[in-house]
Structure 1
Amino acid sequence: MFVGFAKERFLYHNTLLCLVKALQDKNITLDLRNDSYVCGQIITVDGYMNISLCSAVYCDPQGNEFFFDNLFIQGRNIRYVHIPENMSMVATIKNELNKNKKGPVKNPIVKSRKNTKALHQHMQTVASLDL
């Protein structure tokens, strides 16, 4: 299950952040807003698309390469995330969202005897209907 504050969970379920989250433990390339790029393996992605990479190579606009064991990129600095060609984006999104669904409620909470009685009467009424 995705862990984070309410805003992070909203962004995860309502944007393509879930696709980036599904890329964890894969090697990817990120284009940054300052015309540089980073290649590396994603370790973590949070609800604001901040990405931590390991074994990363940062290439600046002049072509200089810098190697990092660990590198943190803020989400606001990311222009483009390159998705590997061998991944089906729709299937990946569905798998990621399905793996984070909550299961059915096992024991519903009954707050009072009045609610229990009303629920029981409602169920008897529904059962007596000819559908």
Structure 2
Amino acid sequence: MNFEGTSREKFFYHNTLLCLIRSLQDKNITVDLRNDSYVCGQLVAVDGFMNLSFCKAVYCDTQQNEYFFDNLFIQGRNIRYIHIPETMTILGSLTNELKRNKDKKLSLKPEVKSRKVTKALKQHMKTVAELDN
């Protein structure tokens, strides 16, 4: 299943550790929030802006009051830390997540370049070939 979203979300997915957070889907995790409270629960979904959706979540506020939710949504800007389970290998999870979500560009149409770009590319290749001589 490929990562779906806007081009900006795909950029964040491939150029930040968002793919590590995405590999935590369907696992129970703890998230510390910016207001010193925290949420524990099963991570259901992560989008390209690190917004998190939980099911069966427990929200604990700063006075240690606990609130139970069937579904809970947290905006990415409110997150301070995401605790990675100790049983999970980070490097292995990153590798598996990126392998699973590789873009298959072979099925897409080849990119058509303008004549100007094609001419500039040929000129560049000619210049590079002359440098080798």
TM-score (norm 2): 0.79
Who is 1:50 aligned against? 51
- The alpha-carbon distance between structure 1 residues 106 and 17, as it changes in their structure 2 partners (threshold 3 A), is closer
Alignment gaps of 5+ in structure 2 = 113-133
Q: CA deviation at 1:108?
A: 6.2
Find out whether 1:96 has 2:78 as its counterpart.
Answer: no
Query: Aligned Cα RMSD in Å?
Result: 1.7
1:63, CA displacement in angstroms? 0.5
1:1-131 → structure 2 map (5 Å cutoff): 1-103=2-104, 105=106
After superposing on structure 2, the runs of 4+ consecutive aligned residues of structure 1 that deviate more than 2 Å are 106-111
Rg larger for? 1
Q: Quick one: percent identity of the two aligned structures?
A: 62
Q: Which structure 1 residue ranges, 5 or more long, are not aligned? A: 112-131
Task: Give the drift of 1:107.
Answer: 8.1
Residues 83 and 103 of structure 1: is their aligned pair in 2 closer, same or farther, counting only changes over 3 Å? same
How many positions carry a matched residue from both structures?
111
State the Cα distance separating 1:103 from its structure 2 match. 3.2
